[in-house]
Amino acid sequence: MNSKEFRRHLHRNPELSFKEFDTQRFILDALRAEGIECRAIATTGVIAKIEGNRGNLSRAVVLRADIDALPVKELNDIDFKSEREGVMHACGHDIHAAVLFGVLQQLNRERNFEGTLFGIFQPGEELNPGGAVKVLAEEPFEGYTVAAVIGEHVDSHLEIGEVGICPGRFMAANDELRLYVTGRGGHAARRAEINDTVTAMCEMVVMTTSLNAHESVVSIGRVIADGATNVIPDKVTAEGTMRTFDAERREHIHTLLRNNAKSIAERYGVEVEVDINHGYPCVVNDVMLSYEAMIVAQDEGIAVRQIEPLATAEDFGYYTERYPSLFYRLGVGSAAGGAHTATFLPDEEAIAVGERMMRRLALHILNK
């Protein structure tokens, strides 16, 4: 099986986060057919191991790809269209997994490197708390010195043959925000008898979004006030997201949100609750590894673009907290459309570029 066939099978049979049981079986079978040592990890994921033919086998490089899909109904007219209603690889994880499979396939046949190579087909990237937490909880690299963890993500803002690399802070930490305002509702015309929960929430939303800054995002995407033209509800809820690149700034905004809630509660005579669901940490690329990767890419004839930090989030951040790591973007062409949409369709020519980049980088680090 080649990597393109591997990708098309995954695309045709997508599974949601932490439900990747069929995907896991398929990957295990494909790896075992290649004679690659592998086993299940993190319930629905897969870990593969290949030992080089020389050197210190306790020194390791880890290659990581995510394997979960999204709750999106595919609208592409292709012969490998999703066969699971309402589920689609709309974020390119099928491409990530195909690249990793291709690299493992090649290096297993060659084994002309020092040390040990691990491949992680990780579940649940799209859903808090993220599959990376479950992988690391099993301590799969215990007894090894991890020289680098390498991952990639498709990007339609880059063309085929390009990669994007951002040294240092790259992707934001994310938190889910849920706000609740509770008071005494009632007839909208009898204002002396009610607490205006709607106006209180409106002010809370405005104060929340006013916390946006150059290196932080605070947005509210959903507000529910289930009243009527002349009815103020007892409870109003709001939901949003928060993205930050700095742990201190992250905690500072959390404090400001709670202080704002206390102020509004006192002024409107209501209860205001701020529920913060802590998400993924910031993805911080190892600076030296980033510049080495740029040189490796150029030597391989792959164009490099140094890109700016992104407010999007990735559970790859958990790996960057523990090991020297690099997460880069793989160009799939502007014709692919937007990720997380029903018509997202990366160009398969990107798979070969991704394999060249990841294989060469892994060998560069292992053979130092």
Span 84-115, pLDDT tens digits: 999 999 999 999 999 999 999 999 999 999 99
- In DSSP terms, 146 is beta-bridged to 60
- Average pLDDT for 248-277: 97
Give the residue among 142, 107, 143, 136 at the shortest CA–CA distance from 120: 136
- Average pLDDT for 248-272: 97
Residue with tokens 């007219």: 77
Give the residue among 192, 210, 211, 197 at the shortest CA–CA distance from 264: 197
Name the 3-class secondary structure at 38. Answer: strand
Give the residue among 357, 352, 351 at the shortest CA–CA distance from 95: 351
Residue 121 confidence class, pLDDT cut points 50, 70, 90: very high
Is the per-residue pLDDT at 51 higher than 90?
yes
Is the per-residue pLDDT at 120 higher than 90?
yes
292 is catalytic: no
Q: What is the DSSP code string of 168-187? A: EEEE-EEEEEEEEEE---EE
Residue 175 confidence class, pLDDT cut points 50, 70, 90: very high
Cα 3 off chain centre by: 22
- Average pLDDT for 164-190: 97
Q: Which of 15, 20, 125, 126 is catalytic?
A: 126
* Cα–Cα dist 256/356, whole Å: 47
Q: Which residues contact 251 (CB under 8 A, 6 or more apart)?
A: none
Are the beta carbons of 226 and 233 closer than 8 angstroms?
Answer: yes
At the topology level of CATH, where does 173-278 sit?
Alpha-Beta Plaits (3.30.70)
* Cα–Cα dist 142/41, whole Å: 14
Total residues found in the chain within this entry = 368
* Percent of the chain scoring above 70 in pLDDT: 100
Residue 214 confidence class, pLDDT cut points 50, 70, 90: confident
Is the per-residue pLDDT at 368 higher than 90?
no
Are the beta carbons of 165 and 289 closer than 8 angstroms?
Answer: no
Are the beta carbons of 23 and 67 closer than 8 angstroms?
Answer: yes
* Percent of the chain scoring above 90 in pLDDT: 98
Average pLDDT taken over every residue of the chain: 97
Is the per-residue pLDDT at 247 higher than 90?
no
Q: Which residues contact 142 (CB under 8 A, 6 or more apart)?
A: none
**Which range is least confidently modeled, 158-162, 181-185, 214-218?**
214-218
Helices 3-12 and 93-110, axial angle in degrees (round to 10) = 150
* Cα–Cα dist 235/198, whole Å: 8
Residue 174 phi/psi, 5° resolution?
-125, 140
Residue 14 phi/psi, 5° resolution?
-75, 150
Phi-psi region of 186 (alpha: psi -120 to 50; beta: other; left: phi over 0): left
Supply the pLDDT for residue 33: 98
77 is catalytic: no
Where along the chain do its domains lie?
3-172+282-366, 173-278
- Average pLDDT for 309-313: 93
The tokens of 238 are what? 């709001």
DSSP letter assigned to residue 282: P
Is the per-residue pLDDT at 314 higher than 90?
yes
Indicate yes or no: pTM above 0.85. Answer: yes
Phi-psi region of 161 (alpha: psi -120 to 50; beta: other; left: phi over 0): left
Supply the pLDDT for residue 170: 97
Q: Which of 66, 152, 286, 355 is catalytic?
A: 66
Supply the pLDDT for residue 185: 96
Is the per-residue pLDDT at 305 higher than 90?
yes
Residue with tokens 């104060």: 207
Supply the pLDDT for residue 265: 98
**pLDDT tens digits, one per residue of 20-39:** 999 999 999 999 999 999 99
Domain 3-172+282-366 has CATH 2.20.25.90: no
**pLDDT tens digits, one per residue of 325-359:** 999 999 999 999 999 999 999 999 999 999 999 99
Give the residue among 48, 92, 49 at the shortest CA–CA distance from 68: 92
Strands, E assignment, 206-340: 216-225, 231-232, 235-244, 271-278, 283-285, 303-306, 325-331
- Average pLDDT for 227-254: 96
Is the per-residue pLDDT at 215 higher than 90?
no
